[in-house]
Each structure stands twice: as structure tokens, then as C-alpha cells.
Amino acid sequence: MKRLKAVILPGIAMVTLVVLSLSGSTGASAISLPQHTHAPATCGVWSKVSSPNAGTSTNFLNGVAAISSTDVWAVGEYSNGNGGLTLVEHWNGAHWKVVASPNVNNSLSDSLSGVAAIAANNVWAVGSYYDASNTQQTLIEHWDGAKWSIVQSPNVPSQFNVLAALSPVSAKDI
């Protein structure tokens, strides 16, 4: 213990002396670092825009993707008190509109978590659903420019299969 004190105490004293010599008698730092400044905002300001609610209970939007300022998609889920249903909304540059999206037959609950927009007729959404045995399965949906449809997706033998997000590399590699 004495040997430890003999090493630590002088080391602390040396660090203290170095800090004091750098700060001077006023406590101000002797080293002046450049400060980061932000340029004035040039893209406008945020504004609140209302969106429609599909359900009578809860509505959640979990993901958003934009093709342009007049072609934006948001996905999530809504509930009428008996499990979730897929929720898809579209922004046309003026307002949000609920767009019909399918749910898996005989599922207990469906939800979309992520969306990727490649083109006006090529939008993908992912999420999950609970099947009749209450096992969570992956869910993939595709917009072809006219309607949303469910695309078959693989699952591992597990109770929990979820897709949360997606990222397109190209129109044929998502």
C-alpha cells in the first residue's frame, strides 16, 4: 500500500501542476480551440401537417420514404381494438391520404415497420404479422403503382420473425 501511495500521489500532483500551468491564474484555458458554428437554415422550417387516422383505437406510423416532394409514403399500423392492421399513407404534396393495404388472411395482428421507395410504381414495405398460432412471421408488401400486394417471404423456425427496415441497392436488389 505504501508503494502504491508513493507512485500514485506524485502522479496526481504532476497532473495537477500541468493543468494549473495551462490554465494560468484566472482558470481560463491557455489553449483556444475553434468553435463550431452553424450556417443559417436555408431549407425552411418544420410545420405540422395533419394525417388521417384509419382506426378507432391507435394509429402508428413507423417508417417513411420519399420519391419526391409530392410522392411520399409512410407505413405503420392501426387498431380498432382487436389487433393491428397495416396502415399505409401517401403524401401528394398537399395532403396525406390512407391507401388500402392488405393484411394476411386469418392473422391476429399485422404491422409495417419500414418502407423504401424506388419509383412511383415500385415501393416496398416490410414488417410482421402474428399467425393463427400466435407466431410472429415476416411480412413484405409491394406497391406496383396501382395497388399494394403481399409478397411471400421466408421465416426461420422461431416464435419471432420480424423485418424492421429495408434498403434498395437497385430496383432488382432490395
CATH assignment of the domain containing 89: 2.40.128
Per the domain annotation, does 112 fall within a domain? yes
Per the domain annotation, does 43 fall within a domain? no
Per the domain annotation, does 104 fall within a domain? yes
For residue 43, pLDDT beyond 70: yes
How far is it, in rounded angstroms, from Cα 150 to Cα 172? 17
Query: pLDDT tens digits for 76-125?
Result: 999 988 889 999 999 999 999 999 999 999 999 999 999 999 999 999 99
Per the domain annotation, does 144 fall within a domain? yes
- Nearest residue to 73 via CA among 43, 107, 101, 109: 101
- Tell me how many domains the chain contains: 1
Per the domain annotation, does 131 fall within a domain? yes
Q: Indicate the SS3 state at residue 38.
A: coil
Per the domain annotation, does 135 fall within a domain? yes
What are the C-alpha distances in Å from 63 to residues 12, 39, 50, 115, 170?
52, 29, 16, 6, 20
Total-model pTM: 0.74
Per the domain annotation, does 76 fall within a domain? yes
Q: Which domain holds residue 71?
A: 59-151
* In contact, 51 and 61? CB cutoff 8 Å: yes
